[in-house]
Structure 1
Amino acid sequence: MNLLASFRNGVSQTRGRQFSGMQAPHPALVWRVDPRQAVRVDVDDGDVISVVGADQTAALQITGMTQDGTCLLPSLNMIADATVRLADFASGAFQGWCAANGGEAERVKATEIRDAEALFVLRATQAGTLWFINPSSPDDHVSGNSAGACEVHIKRAALSNLLLPRPLGKIRDEFTISRATAQAYRLNKGEYVQIIDVDGQQCSDFMAFRSRGLDRGIEQRIDSTVTRSMVGGAYPGPGLFDKFYDAEMRPLLNVVQDTVGRHDTFALACTARGYEERGFPGHVNCSDNISGQMDPFGVKRRSAWPAINLFFNSWIDRSDNRIQVEESWSRPGDYVAMRAMDDLVCVSTACPDDVDPINGWNPTDIHIRIYEPDTSIQRAIAHRQKEDAAMSLSENSAFHTRTSQLTEQFVAARDLWVPAAYPSIGTTGEYWACREKVTLQDMSPLRKYDVIGPDAERLLQQAMTRNIAKLAQWRGTYSLLCDERGAVIDDGTLFRLGPCTFRWCCGSEESARHLIALAEGMDVRIHDMQGALPNLALQGPKSRDLLRQIVFTQPHVPALDAVKWFGVTVARLHDREGIPFMLSRSGYTGELGYELFCDKADAPMLWDAIMDAGAAFGIAPMGTHALEIIRIEAGLAAANAEFAPGIDAFEAGLGFAVDLKKDDFIGKTALERNSAAPRRILKGMLLDCDDVPAHGAHIYLDERPVGVVTSATRSPSLERAIAIVRLAAEVAENGTELKIGQMDGHMKRLSGVVCDIPFLDPRRERARA
């Protein structure tokens, strides 16, 4: 049947899908179990459970309980003959579950899988809850001797008719909005609403009114223009100031979770006129649907409703300043969750547009869940390691219990929330503390991969731009991974912890995909540490003096004062019984500094010890805003700035990390060719003003563009704006006067001269001190 024919009459088709009230599984039925982690999986009778990679774990533990409180393992033909190793994994959630179900975690029995095949399969014959536990001691993590991760896959015996994510808390009400319809509903102050895209690529217009205003005949509703102005962005996201506001700049809702990140606060809900003028008279539309739902509340009918268009993929094209649209980014089960900041009347639609790509050309349903006020939903956004990868929600860092006492300003860095700034100190105060004293920063979003096995060096020698054969144990080196064209895939620091054990600390999951592809046929394992090894950056001229107060090392590893630039050791806190951590002399500031990597459970203790000892040295916590200033002053490259797809290592200013004397590595041929006659060179510009140019701004010689800005900031030390720039080789000589174009490149120009980078300490003597 033609969808348009039914929509013209305002009839909604649901394709036979009815909400059954059953809890449906998340569409991505794969759970990763990292070392020292436990994953809970609810199963039903007939579900098939397969575990992939259990042979990589030292001893995978499985335990579980039926719905009536008995052990679930016998129904899986498994013997519960082991004790759960509570001390060897992050067991807080597990212990809470045990207590909630009337059990004692210390007495729970498990089965232990050792030396298993790469895959083993179980079939559930009873409903219940399983826990998959990958225990590992803290010492194993720090030394690089821990086992790897495994994956749990569930094939459901039967799916409910509606695919929904698992509830976020205690549900007060839920209902499905059939495609091409709308539904009004009430939210009490403190309650949460979760708006779920059932099938993916389905837009949902949203509007909210203050209930007290409607009672007085006043429409106090979301104002998209005010909202954009208040949050300083095209659309809100989770965070302290990420709210929807009314016309009086009073917040109505707080965005708590968002698994898509692409919505619209510019356009109207679809209108009858919009369809009529494209040749579709009588087409049902969201504006009329909203008016129909709000009529009982005394809201004046409108032919065009302003709305927040959730899951609507729009953007403004810089070339012509027009709003562009395309198919939605949302996937089945994606959602936005918001908390009501007042008593509200809300309305949501399932958009009927089948003549544009916005709903994937096939309008589907929207599902609404309302949660009670005592529900606690952690703020989060979606993170995907790759576009087609399973989603994970951003989490708090292992140091969050300490940093959250000092600031409420957090930003999402990959899959973790980290502090952006500490208001009591200020970004400028943090900057000077790093330059003159010592700072501590949560750098846990850094990716860590252990490369272990007889062929580890052979793999890394092929992949890395540095000569890894020359890397001694307890030494590190800054290196690059490049593709065949010489473009930088990722950068990072490689540490050698043993003859066949390396730790690669980098910025992107693309590193792992690249290494895994190259490792085909080699005797080597790439172990993704995930969140198991959070780390801190201790930077500044007083950092070594501070560490002397708390670091203990055994005789078989380098002592603190013997750790030279890019050296590494394994240390303990205070004495031989203290918590272990990996200590490297590295950082992202150009100052003397160290990085400390510890087990997740030990993170708060390590933070406390450093801050306590640092009080005598004027220590200050530092956020990402101050680090960005220092990073640019130090001339250090960043992804999607100095290096990006299509930019080779020399154009990214990273030629110092390329050893063309090596026999071979991926990208060498292209880099040899490009290095002989580079077309573009990375340089610095000292500007004659305090105006900071935008990333990507063009650089001009007279009226012709000759380069672009890759990063820029105002330097407190130089008391002027500075920029890292990529210039045509013909204009890259020091002292060349150029101008950076602002306001379309011609209405305003920022003058400056070309210089070398780093802007400060060009020989990096501070870091080597």
Structure 2
Amino acid sequence: MTDPAIPPRNTPLRATHEALGASFTDFGGWLMPVRYTSDLAEHHAVRTAAGIFDISHMAEFLVEGHEAGVFLDYALAGRLSAIPVWKAKYSLLLAQSGGIIDDLVVYRLGAHRYFVVANAGNHDAVADALATRVSGFEATVVDASEDYALIAVQGPIARAVLEATPGITDLGRPLAELPYYAATDAFYDGAPLLVARTGYTGEDGFELYVSASAAAGLWDALLTAGSPLGLVPAGLAARDTLRLEAGMPLYGHELSLDIVPAQAGLGRVVAADKNEFVGRKAVLAAVPADAPVLVGLVSEGKRAGRAGYEVFRGEERVGEITSGALSPTLQHPIAMAFVSPSAAAEGTAVTIDVRGTRIPATVTALPFYRRKK
């Protein structure tokens, strides 16, 4: 939870965003650009060309030591020790109850070196959990969040933008050979740079981890090189509709301490065959038969259900929307919702209470949108 008494923090790119005319919002305790021009224009740019995002609010932790992989296998739900060097894996940090403390991405940078990226709003909870769980392992956890800025370039021309950007040098692997959820080391203007083919938009793209002092220079270089190709600055509003179309969960909406992975369709993320990990007993227990599960909803017209709106089948309340919007790409309303298993089958007809009006909707499989390969 963000403490309203504490002013939001600024990323190293605050002045850059102001110069570009950004509007700002408090997100996870950080003052972040919500848009620069138009939510729709920024969204469509990412789907058709590329957008550049400041996501420096994310939290980063370096985990090193002889037992770093063994420790992460215990601390997280996945089998992180099996990640090949320079590959990444999506994972979950669970409570003993099986509820989700955070979802995160783990990169393996060496035989005994890992890079853990968590959500900004969960920084303290993740830091506390990792610090507590590392006890007894030959491993160290260092909070490196202050050291890094994070810039994402997302969209079909993302690789072309990076390849056209002067100053990005010494790539350990050509970008054309870098598969999805892989990373490589590089430099930008002499500063160490981690280039990862990851993202949160449903498009091809890259996330660039660089020292905070080099962030403004890298942003300007990317935008200068990419603007003639169609690259535009994009804010959190576009990022949210992009991730919703791609069916990607957002902590505090689809994920929380009250939700176990199977309910959110993330049972596959849990390495249930591991002998021991925090939350194992709870997640291996049978989920109650009436526990709500995450589904997609589609409807016609222009009135979209929003987070907190109720879902009905007939006169029975069967669930609640967690995220919803009028899809800029698909041009009809979409939503994710937790509903009763009895109403979760694909094709089930339901209604959404949109400010007192029942809007017909249909349960559908996630994601709503898949990019063309």
When normalised by structure 1's length, the TM-score is 0.46
Q: How much does 1:523 deviate?
A: 2.4
Residue of 632, 635, 639 corresponding to 2:244: 632
The answer to whether the aligner puts 1:498 opposite 2:110 as a matched pair is: yes
* 1:753 alignment partner in structure 2: 362
Number of residue pairs the alignment of both structures matches: 367
The answer to whether the aligner puts 1:562 opposite 2:174 as a matched pair is: no
Structure 1: 4+ residue segments shifted above 6 A: none
Structure 2 distance, partners of 1:678, 1:456, is 38
* 1:544 alignment partner in structure 2: 159
The answer to whether the aligner puts 1:470 opposite 2:85 as a matched pair is: no
Structure 2 distance, partners of 1:721, 1:636, is 16
* 1:403 alignment partner in structure 2: 17
Cα 1:730–1:415, aligned 2, differ >3 Å: closer, same or farther?
A: closer
When normalised by structure 2's length, the TM-score is 0.93
Residue of 683, 688, 695 corresponding to 2:295: 683
Equivalence map 1:398-547=2 (5 Å): 398-423=12-37, 426-507=38-119, 508-509=122-123, 510-547=125-162
Higher relative contact order (CA 8 A, sep 6+): 2
Structure 2 distance, partners of 1:629, 1:564, is 25
* 1:25 alignment partner in structure 2: none
Structure 2 distance, partners of 1:534, 1:415, is 16
* 1:651 alignment partner in structure 2: 263
CA contact (8 A) 2:186 2:193 kept: yes
Which amino acid in 2 is paired with 1:553? D
Residue of 609, 625, 628 corresponding to 2:221: 609
CA contact (8 A) 2:72 2:81 kept: no
Structure 1 distance, partners of 2:16, 2:66, is 40
Structure 1 distance, partners of 2:146, 2:23, is 21
Structure 1 distance, partners of 2:81, 2:35, is 41
> Unaligned 5+ residue runs, structure 2?
none
Identical amino acids, percent of aligned pairs: 27
Equivalence map 1:42-61=2 (5 Å): none
Structure 1 distance, partners of 2:177, 2:306, is 42
Point out the structure with the larger helix share.
2
CA contact (8 A) 1:464 1:666 kept: yes
Structure 1 distance, partners of 2:15, 2:208, is 18
Equivalence map 1:170-189=2 (5 Å): none
Structure 2 distance, partners of 1:676, 1:260, is 34
Structure 2 distance, partners of 1:599, 1:656, is 34
Secondary structure of the corresponding residue to residue 651 of structure 1: helix
Deviations 1:272-322 (A, max 9, x none): xxxxxxxxxxxxxxxxxxxxxxxxxxxxxxxxxxxxxxxxxxxxxxxxxxx
Which amino acid in 2 is paired with 1:545? A
Q: How much does 1:712 deviate?
A: 0.4
Residue of 320, 344, 360 corresponding to 1:708: 320
Cα 1:703–1:406, aligned 2, differ >3 Å: closer, same or farther?
A: same
Which amino acid in 2 is paired with 1:496? R
Secondary structure of the corresponding residue to residue 531 of structure 1: helix
CA contact (8 A) 1:642 1:653 kept: no
Secondary structure of the corresponding residue to residue 283 of structure 2: helix
Structure 2 distance, partners of 1:594, 1:687, is 32
CA contact (8 A) 1:394 1:417 kept: yes
Structure 2 distance, partners of 1:501, 1:449, is 11
Deviations 1:448-468 (A, max 9, x none): 111112221111000122111
Deviations 1:79-137 (A, max 9, x none): xxxxxxxxxxxxxxxxxxxxxxxxxxxxxxxxxxxxxxxxxxxxxxxxxxxxxxxxxxx
The answer to whether the aligner puts 1:553 opposite 2:170 as a matched pair is: yes
Q: How much does 1:570 deviate?
A: 1.0
Which amino acid in 2 is paired with 1:475? K
Structure 2 distance, partners of 1:677, 1:658, is 20
* 1:247 alignment partner in structure 2: none
Deviations 1:478-531 (A, max 9, x none): 000111221111111000111111110011221111111111222222111132
Q: How much does 1:678 deviate?
A: 7.1
> Unaligned 5+ residue runs, structure 1?
1-258, 262-380, 383-392
Equivalence map 1:352-371=2 (5 Å): none
Q: How much does 1:567 deviate?
A: 0.4
Q: How much does 1:418 deviate?
A: 1.5
Deviations 1:533-566 (A, max 9, x none): 0101100000011112234235xx3332222111
Secondary structure of the corresponding residue to residue 148 of structure 2: coil
Equivalence map 1:29-428=2 (5 Å): 261=4, 382=6, 393-423=7-37, 426-428=38-40
Structure 1 distance, partners of 2:279, 2:257, is 14
Structure 2 distance, partners of 1:433, 1:753, is 29
Deviations 1:587-622 (A, max 9, x none): 110100110011111111101110111023111000
CA contact (8 A) 2:49 2:156 kept: yes
Which amino acid in 2 is paired with 1:756? A
Structure 1 distance, partners of 2:164, 2:60, is 27
Structure 2 distance, partners of 1:260, 1:526, is 26
Cα 1:661–1:697, aligned 2, differ >3 Å: closer, same or farther?
A: same
CA contact (8 A) 2:306 2:325 kept: no
Structure 2 distance, partners of 1:445, 1:469, is 27
Structure 1 distance, partners of 2:264, 2:133, is 24
CA contact (8 A) 2:102 2:256 kept: no
Secondary structure of the corresponding residue to residue 750 of structure 1: strand
